[in-house]
Amino acid sequence: MPTNPADSPILGTLYGSDAMRAVFDERALFQRMLDVEAALARAQARLGVIPSEAAQSISRAARLENLNISELAESARTAGAPVVGVVAGLSRAAGDAGAWTHWGATTQDIVDTAIVLQIRDGLGLIRASLRELVSALVAQSHRHRRTVMAGRTYLQQALPTTLGLKCAIWAQPLIGHVHRLDALRSRVEQVSFGGAAGTLASLGSQGIAVMEGLAAELDLAAPAAPWHVNREGFAETVAFLGLICGSLAKFATDIILLTQTEVGEVAEPYFAGRGASSTMPQKRNPIASTYIVAAARNVHALVPVMLGTMAADQERPTGAWQAEWLALPQAFVLTHGALDHAGSIARGMVAAPASMQRNLDLTHGLIVAEAVMMGLAPQLGRAEAHHAVKHACDVALTEDISLADALAREPALAGKLNRAEIERLTDPANYLGSTDAFIDRVLALAT
């Protein structure tokens, strides 16, 4: 049983996703190391560095089933790195050609490049999930563009808004994250190949040609120089995942607040037993939102770990590099799990317009006091209009009457507004400003 709940067969159903775990599974990592070794042999064979027959044999042997897990574990424990055992197992499986395995490479070349291949696959999953989530939120935004609800600041009712705009606001940063991801790829999807100390001295004059050939074999970019001790690519990747989780946590926090019994304006999708309590039969807890917030807090805790690894010493990091192996896969798994939860909410979100209207009516029209004030300002001047409406609000609060009734009794407004005009000004649906236009702008970004 794994000690990390995100990787367990039981609690893992709440954290992470099977698809992302498959990308960063330990067996997948070792297969990626073998893929890099095989690609290196093929690139070197084309340049005449090693015999073509050797490269073919190495490529055929570069399969995980040719490695002995017990030997790999013992080698890693002894050497302090995983590649020594990989090279030994691959060399043995390749027969006589094994003598040409790992030619001119160092452990960090193989590990870093293998992780880059995992990151490439992981970012592909993240991008697809981001796009699906944006599509779901955009659909909800379009569906609810006229579903009026209370907008809240400092957790108190402020002005009317719409659920459609709220969905668009949730979607907007996620659209930005898709663009950030696309820009990030060129900076992180680079081959790592520098040899023992970043000089490729063992390959003589062909070092850069081999590096570029290896990059081409793996469909990666070739850096200007080795990045053994330049860790900003991996650090930026996890920081980017932290940004995604921040946006998801905002979305989830809003859902949690809107599902409160006293609010009841939105609910997560429900099926029998979903969000059940062990003692309270009536409960439908917002569990998807809960695990989004939990995942985000853990990913945010991993970002400083990755930033700390940038202080790499000399030509090979000690400790900083190894810390990445712990943090980076976990950040990917948790982020993708949070995206899966967010997608399920966005697709199946249940709106309760009746509850929204009930909450709008709680203040008997005070939520649109600004609308009345702005409607009167052209006749009375802004300061006088503000004073008159403020007095009417005080009366409404003191006597527990509607703002419309208080306005009708306000001496300063006598003859200025008839009852029909008062009702129009105090209808929240008539004070939505640019909500439709903002929704359309976000929808345009999404397409």
Q: What's residue 284's pLDDT?
A: 77
Q: What's residue 278's pLDDT?
A: 62
Q: Which segments in the chain show pLDDT lower than 70?
A: 1, 272-278, 280-283
Q: What's residue 295's pLDDT?
A: 96
Give me the catalytic one of 186, 202, 277, 434: 277
Write the CA distances from 297 to 14, 172, 293, 335, integer angstroms.
15, 21, 6, 10
Give me the catalytic one of 143, 152, 180, 316: 316
Q: Residue ranges of the domains in the chain?
A: 5-357
Beta carbons within 10 angstroms of residue 268's beta carbon: 24
Tokens standing for residue 147: 């579903």
Q: Mind listing the pLDDT tens digit for each residue in 370-400?
A: 888 888 888 888 898 899 889 988 998 899 8
- CATH homologous superfamily for 5-357? Fumarase/aspartase (Central domain) (1.20.200.10)
Beta strands in 268-418 (DSSP E): 350-351
User: Is 434 known to be catalytic?
Assistant: no
Q: Count CA atoms within 13 Å of residue 121 on its CB side.
A: 18
Q: How far apart are CA 65 and CA 103, in angstroms?
A: 22
AA letter at 129: S
Q: What's residue 281's pLDDT?
A: 65
User: Is 316 known to be catalytic?
Assistant: yes
pTM of the model: 0.93
Q: What's residue 447's pLDDT?
A: 87
